[in-house]
Structure 1
Amino acid sequence: MKFLLATLILLLAAPLRAETPRVVADIAPVHGIVAEVMEGVGSPDLLLSPGVSPHHVTLRPSQARAMQKADLVVWIGPALTPWLEKALESLRRGEQIALLELPGTIVLPFRDHDDDAQDREHGEEHRHAQGHGDDHAQGAARPLAHDHDQDRENDHGHDHAGGPDPHAWLDPRNAALWAGAIAERLSRIDPTNADRYRANARTFADRMHALEDEIAARLADTGPYLAYHDAFQYFETRFGLKLAGVIAAGDAADPGAAHLSALRRHLAEKGVACAFREPQLDPRLMQAALEGLDLRIGVLDPLGRDLEPGPGFYDSLLRNLAAGFAQCRPGS
């Protein structure tokens, strides 16, 4: 009897976790990275489906409840979803990781797309300026600390030159770093599965290293491209691609007549052969802007709305982008 009582006391006092941690990710690419880390333990919840633009969203009650119940919320940060910041401040029980704020994350500023800047060369020199460091550095999460006044400037789309470009998930080195940070945070929340989280993160980082080499080889000698708006800077910078120009300066901006006229002259002078829009944009907008120019118009999706969320999502996302950009290779 005494033995049974002592055993019961020990069981009640032991810091065992009966449930898999509840994790919420803001967008599908982040969800895909978290799913890699949690594979074999559980599955994260996705706040926004891949077909929903993260820039302007009204949070539904069900989404707010999911975050309130979460042990961990993983999000890009207020540069992408400023509307989410206030909701996260009211979390009662969970923790959060703002990925753009993790030490070691490569963060690029929005670029100035004045007409006289269209001719700038990006790619290699910018990539080397960022520094390579350890390909598989495992960053540590830290508490959020924002300049709230600056964040409010982000409320109306990505037309604020000089602020952080939030599309940082399009660099596989960031993805590898983030996986390590997520694994460390989950290991503290759920120490029982710490070894699995860390092993999964290492496997994912190794895969990202191989994927980077694969895509770099595929996109060698790729020509310059035109984008509807500047959403692919991280991918472009990592793989030495060249942006010839953008039609709209930001997500909320409409192109002016003077800008389009200068852009059309620039494209003709440079012999740009391909242009890309995002899937949520009306194709007629780009066709009208480029009427009379001999350009191949393709679709690039930075959010992967046609992909199945979960493990393997991130690899497919980058491979799809690589396949699109490969259309700009000579002779394609």
Structure 2
Amino acid sequence: MKFAAALLLSSAAMIAAPGAFAATPEVVVSIKPIHSLVASIMKGVGEPKLIVEGAASPHTYNMRPSNAAALQKADLIFWVGHGMEAFLEKPLEALGSKATVVTLEDAPSLTKLKFREGGVFEPEAEEEGHDHGHNHGAGEAHADGEDDGDHDHEGNDVHLWLDPMNAKAMAAEIEKQLVQADAEHAVSYQKNAAELMKQLDALDAELRTTLEPIKDKPFIVFHDAYQYFEHRYGVKVAGSITVSPESMPGAERVKEIHRKVEDLGATCVFAEPQFEPKLVKVVSEGSKAKSGVLDPEAGALKEGPDLYFTMMRGIATSLKSCLSQ
């Protein structure tokens, strides 16, 4: 009885004492690649909640009641921004009013590339605009009237995370926001962020080595998500089947890409796990092109701290495997 009474008194004292237990903030993250960075920095402190789970794509996602509940409870919400997770705009206004909303496309030190408005990229524009491996410039392309919903309000491509140096810039902003929201765990966030930065530098060097043998071989992608990867590592995206997955390509676009594949000869056409694979077969039909799968939004991967690294290595490995044949 004495032990029980002492335990109750001790518990009551802890509850009464301010700061006796430092509450970890409720953190919500929009998409898997960003969630992975946040989870890495929160390791050992807490686990952020993810909105776009499983194989879903932010381009076609519909909010669930559980997502709305998570936003209502959130203290911190991380998303890329208006050009990527359009489905979150109204819910953030309506449900995330008490939370600090961090728009990572506004993080300092990001390299930003202009959105390309076409599926078949012009070689002369690529030569003019590409500074392979140095994150500068952007190739121009034909516009054919297709909806360009996959960019921000300033016309920038928002697949920012596909350059590890941009991942570092976003990680720095994530660390800053977590420290401001939860000073009690600042040391843990800072330590985790420092380790993440080292891992991202090592990943960058590894990917450069992996891709070096195939970087000049052209290939076709499902949608134009790879500009940042392309500019960082010098790989040669020759065109995309669609500009944005919200808008499927028309017959003329498919014919254009089919002609491009035939002109390139033996190349690779890459599908994505979340979208219609039949289109890849259509554009490569009758050619010597091989097919593969790239997963720039990690739809086929399990969320967590390791996901970002698995995703980036997966893209590099798929490219090398198909283009080396």
- Report the TM-score range of the alignment, normalised by the length of the smaller protein: 0.7 to 0.9
Q: Residue 167 of structure 2 corresponds to which residue in structure 1?
A: 175
RMSD: 2.9
Structure 1 length-normalised TM: 0.82
1:315 aligned to 2:309?
yes
In the TM superposition, residue 97 of structure 1 has moved relative to its aligned partner by: 0.8
Q: Residue 288 of structure 1 corresponds to which residue in structure 2?
A: 282
Secondary structure in structure 2 of the residue aligned to 1:207: helix
1:264 aligned to 2:264?
no
Per-residue CA deviations over 1:33-85 (Å, capped at 9, x if unaligned) read 00000001111111110411112333222211211111100001110112212
Q: Residue 146 of structure 1 corresponds to which residue in structure 2?
A: none
1:48 aligned to 2:52?
yes
| Alignment partner of 2:86 out of 59, 82, 101 | 82
Structure 2 gaps, min length 5: 1-11, 138-145
Instruction: Spell out the pairing of 1:122-271 with structure 2 (5 A cutoff).
Output: 125=131, 127-128=133-134, 130=136, 157-158=149-150, 163-222=155-214, 223-271=217-265
In the TM superposition, residue 208 of structure 1 has moved relative to its aligned partner by: 0.5
Structure 1 gaps, min length 5: 1-7, 132-153
Q: How many residues align?
A: 302
CA distance in 2, matches of 1:189, 1:259: 47
Structure 2 length-normalised TM: 0.83
Deviates more, 1:241-250 or 1:32-41: 241-250
Amino acid at match of 1:273: T
Deviates more, 1:244-253 or 1:274-283: 244-253
Secondary structure in structure 2 of the residue aligned to 1:219: helix
C-alpha contact 2:271 2:294 (8 A) present in aligned 1: yes
Secondary structure in structure 2 of the residue aligned to 1:125: coil
Per-residue CA deviations over 1:258-295 (Å, capped at 9, x if unaligned) read 44434333333333511101112222221122210111
Deviates more, 1:119-128 or 1:102-111: 119-128
C-alpha contact 1:118 1:266 (8 A) present in aligned 2: no
Per-residue CA deviations over 1:212-270 (Å, capped at 9, x if unaligned) read 00010010131111112211111111111111112223223333444443433333333
C-alpha contact 1:79 1:166 (8 A) present in aligned 2: yes
C-alpha contact 2:112 2:157 (8 A) present in aligned 1: yes
Percentage of pairs with the same residue:
37
Q: Residue 100 of structure 1 corresponds to which residue in structure 2?
A: 105
Specify whether residues 124 and 192 from structure 1 end up closer, same or farther in structure 2 by C-alpha distance, changes over 3 A only.
same
CA distance in 1, matches of 2:61, 2:321: 33
